[in-house]
Amino acid sequence: MKATYREALNQALREEMRRDDRVFLIGEDVAYYQGAFKVSKGFLEEFGSRRVVDTPITELGFTGLAIGAAMAGLRPVVEVMTFNFAILAMDQIVNNAAKIRYMSGGQLSVPIVIRGPGSAAHQLAAQHSQSLEAWFCHVPGLKVVAPATPHDAKGLIKSAIRDENPVIFIEAQLLYPMQGEIGDGDYTIPLGVAEVKRPGTDVTLIAYSKMLLVALEAAEKLAQEGIQAEVVDPRTLRPLDLTTLAASAKKTGKVVVVEEGWPFAGLGAQIAESLYRQVFDYLDGPIVRVTGRDAPMPYARDLEDAAIPDADQVVAAAHQVLYRT
Amino acid sequence: MERAHLVHLYTQMLLIRRFEERTAEMYALGKIGGFCHLCIGEEAVAVGAVDALRPDDYVFSAYRDHGHCLARGSDPKRVMAELFGRVTGLCKGKGGSMHLVDAERRFMGGYAIVGGHLPLAAGVAFAVKYRGGDQVVLCFFGEGAVPSGACHETLNLAALWGLPVLFLCENNRYGMGTPVERAVALYSDVAQNAAAYGIEAGRVDGMDVLAVRDAVGKAVEQVRTRQRPYFLEAVTYRFLGHSMADPAHGHYRTKAEVDEAKKRDPVLLLRTRMLSERLATEADIKRIEQEVAQIVREAVEFADASPVPPVTALEEDVYTS
């Protein structure tokens, strides 16, 4: 069955809400407006205002409230209109959601999903275009998921909702209209399991979320030169499936990590460090990172294009690890 | 109020007082570390408020939480062991003084980012309402939290959605060293902040445990039956410093001011009243003092004899598997 990323999420959330009365959706404009990006289309009609809850524009307040509801046994799905606004709820996410289980010595738990789009779209400028996954991945107690395909989005959001821990689920505005084949009915994809999206033997390209599409495009270009790139999508960023990533790195001996976020202390640095610890002796050379540029996102289209990794940069990075210039 | 009930309230307040005094001693001996905030002077608010709850109601607190936890009936041994950082503590030594949790008693925890637990309390109330229950969530916080964004966002949501929360503001006049009049625009009556959101509010003498019991009892009843939040300001005073790290008065208040406040010591007020109204004899008071001393002594002995957590516990309880 074909579905867009948006439809896949809509289906999954709908199925989970039908399955479990404890699941409810809360956020800005999720009910009457049907979601800023229409992920919750039809929800108010089906589930009513008890379970599809419009909030005022107060991320700290409604995220904290949802964390409290989770402590009392409900399973909230918080929609942040974009992850930029989750910064306002950072204290609630880091100091409460992530730590309440630990601080209580295991007495309380916080089964919550906080989801919405991250990264850049088109010319939304600095405050609406950023990739904050590294912030969340840094925090023990949180799980972080960033699916790239409709199939993965559906299977992973279901696992996230059924998980007993707080899960940060990062979507992307530019992925919502993307179409793909999705599984039938009630399937789940476990958190913490990467997938090889394109097999290859010469070089490993690790990429997640929107950057998976860039990596796949690069792999296609490399194939035309006779280079077989293996593209691996971690899908879950914390916990990271190092086993799958390491197996590919071991096989090819050459690794490129692609991320849209800023380079300094970015997720690619962590992935590279983890791989060095496991497979250093199998690598033919240093891991190369392709990242967003080290500046706030500019508005001007040309500058924005230059700030975000593209397939040509990934191809160039692959050439670098293959010592082809 | 019946004599036995009064004796119970008095015993609870005295327990908290003596527990806190021993906590200070243990801190001085290095048995307790970190930030430690004692509630001496504020016992009547904790005891009077919690007494008005049902066992299935919920309680949230901030970082000055020992008294609230003890008032809720948590085992003093396990509370002291938590302060000692021992494996027998309520939270296995992982929470400490500022993060006591006793889920069995629905004591949902002490939180140490000022104002940060108010949304959580509203969230538990949201869950109660979602399930059609009639429990009430009692949320303690200091007047220092009143100007925070978390407080205002929560008051708005609780009023907007009719959540069964009793916001109990313990106004002890000082947010660390800053007096309320230099922190809150409507300082003469901080409950006015709630009125701005259409939340009914009241004020009570926080040194009089019977007045607190009465005011909270009425407020809880109202929250439960009307499914609306309520904001109660309890006017109280902290007799010691903000934490163990500072003296009783310091530069921000005078010794004379502290001495003046101590004339209305909540424990002494109730004792005097019980004696003058012949609801207790000197012998009763002495017996209660001995009982409480025994409980606190045993709590310290238990804590001191308990093992420290094994290092293997360090990475446990981070995730639920």
CATH number of the domain bearing residue A70: 3.40.50.970
Amino acid at A75: R
CATH of the domain at A274: 3.40.50.920
Q: Tell me: do A124 and A245 sit in the same domain.
A: no
Q: What is the pLDDT of residues A231-269, one digit of tens each?
A: 999 999 999 999 999 999 999 999 999 999 999 999 999
Cα gap A267→A258, rounded to integer Å: 9
Q: Is residue A14 part of a domain?
A: yes
| Confidence (pLDDT) at A291 | 98
pLDDT value for B284: 96
Same domain, A159 and A202: no
* Cα distance from N-terminal residue to C-terminal residue, chain B: 49
**Quick one: A90 exposed, middle or buried, by C-beta within 10 A (0-12, 13-18, 19+)?**
middle
- For residue B258, which of B188, B173, B182 has the smallest C-alpha distance? B173
The mean pLDDT of chain B is 96
Within a domain: A190: no
Residue A58 lies in a domain: yes
Looking at the structure, do residues A38 and A62 belong to the same domain, yes or no? yes
> Residue B189: its pLDDT value, please?
85
Catalytic residue among A7, A16, A59, A259: A59
Residue A166 has pLDDT above 80, yes or no: yes
Phi, psi of A289 (to 5 degrees): -105, 135
Confidence band, pLDDT 50/70/90 cuts, at residue B23:
very high
Cβ-defined contact of B153 to A165 (cutoff 8 Å): no
* Residue A234 neighbours by CB under 8 Å, 6+ apart: A194, A206, A208, A240, A241, A244, A245, A271
- Which of A154, A181, A208 is at the close of a domain? A181
Segments of chain A assigned E as strands: 2-4, 23-27, 52-54, 75-79, 113-118, 143-145, 167-172, 179-181, 195-198, 203-207, 229-233, 236-238, 255-258, 288-290
Spell out a b/e string for A283-317, using b for 16 or more CB atoms within 10 Å of the CB, else e.
beeebbbbbbeeeebbeeeeebeebbbbbebbbbb
**pLDDT at A303 (0 to 100):** 97
The C-alpha of B18 sits at a distance from chain A's nearest C-alpha, in angstroms, of 25
Percentage of chain A beyond pLDDT 70 is 100
A128 is catalytic: yes
pLDDT computed for residue B246 by the predictor: 86
Q: Which residue of chain B has the CA closest to A108?
A: B103
- Same domain assignment for residues A63 and A89: yes
Model pLDDT for residues B175-202, shown as the tens digit of each residue: 999 999 999 998 888 888 999 999 999 9
Same domain, A269 and A156: no
Domain ranges, ordered by start, for chain B:
3-306
Tally the domains of chain A. Answer: 2
What are the pLDDT digits (tens) for B148-160?
999 999 999 999 9
Q: What pLDDT, on the 0 to 100 scale, is given for residue B188?
A: 85
Give me the residue from A55, A96, A102 closest to B317, CB to CB.
A102
ipTM above 0.95, yes or no: yes
Position B121 scores a pLDDT of 98
pLDDT recorded at residue A153: 98
Provide residues of B within 8 Å CB-CB of chain A.
58, 89-95, 99, 101-103, 108-109, 111, 113, 116-128, 130, 149-150, 153-154, 156-157, 160, 316-321
Q: Could you tell me the pLDDT band of residue B1, with boundaries at 50, 70 and 90?
A: confident
Range with the poorest average pLDDT among A138-147, B112-121, B244-253, B301-310: B244-253
Q: State the Cα–Cα distance between residues A200 and A225, nearest whole angstrom.
A: 13
Q: Is the pLDDT of residue B245 over 90?
A: no
What pLDDT is attached to residue B233?
Answer: 97
Q: How confident is the model at residue B321 (pLDDT cuts 50, 70, 90)?
A: confident
- The domain in which residue A21 lies consists of 2-181
User: What backbone torsions phi and psi does residue A258 show, to the nearest 5 degrees?
Assistant: -115, 130
Same domain for A18 and A163, yes or no, is yes
Do A108 and B128 count as a contact with CB atoms less than 8 A apart? no
Residue B153 has φ and ψ, to the nearest 5°, of -65, -40
Specify whether A10 is located in the same domain as A62: yes
Of the residues A157, A181, A205, the one at which a domain ends: A181
The minimal CB distance from A60 to the residues B93, B153, B316 is found for B153
Same domain, yes or no, for A216 and A117?
Answer: no
pLDDT at position A184, please? 86
The answer to whether position A189 is within a domain reads no
Last residue of a domain, one of A135, A155, A181: A181
Question: Chain B residues with CB inside 8 Å of A106's CB?
Answer: 92, 316-317, 320
DSSP strands (E only) in B56-114? 58-61, 107-110
Contact check, Cβ <8 Å, A108/B108: yes
Q: Are residue A84 and residue A139 in the same domain, yes or no? A: yes
Q: Are residues A128 and A200 in the same domain?
A: no
Instruction: Look at residues A244, A240, A241, A222 and name the one whose alpha carbon lies nearest to residue A321.
Output: A222
pLDDT (average), residues A81-98: 98
Q: Do B108 and A101 touch (CB under 8 A)?
A: no
DSSP β-bridge partners for residue A24: A76
Cα–Cα distance for residue pair B273/A157, rounded to 1 Å = 61
One domain for residues A201 and A166: no
Per the annotation, the verdict on A151 as an active-site residue is no
Hey, what CATH class is B3-306 in?
alpha beta
Together in a domain, A132 and A172: yes
Q: Establish if A248 belongs to a structural domain.
A: yes
- Residue B59 pLDDT level (bands cut at 50, 70, 90): very high
Q: Report the C-alpha gap between B265 and B296 in whole angstroms.
A: 21
- What is the pLDDT confidence band of residue A323, given thresholds at 50, 70 and 90? very high
Within-domain flag for A306: yes
**CB-based contact B169:B199 (threshold 8 Å):** no
Mean pLDDT confidence for B115-123: 98
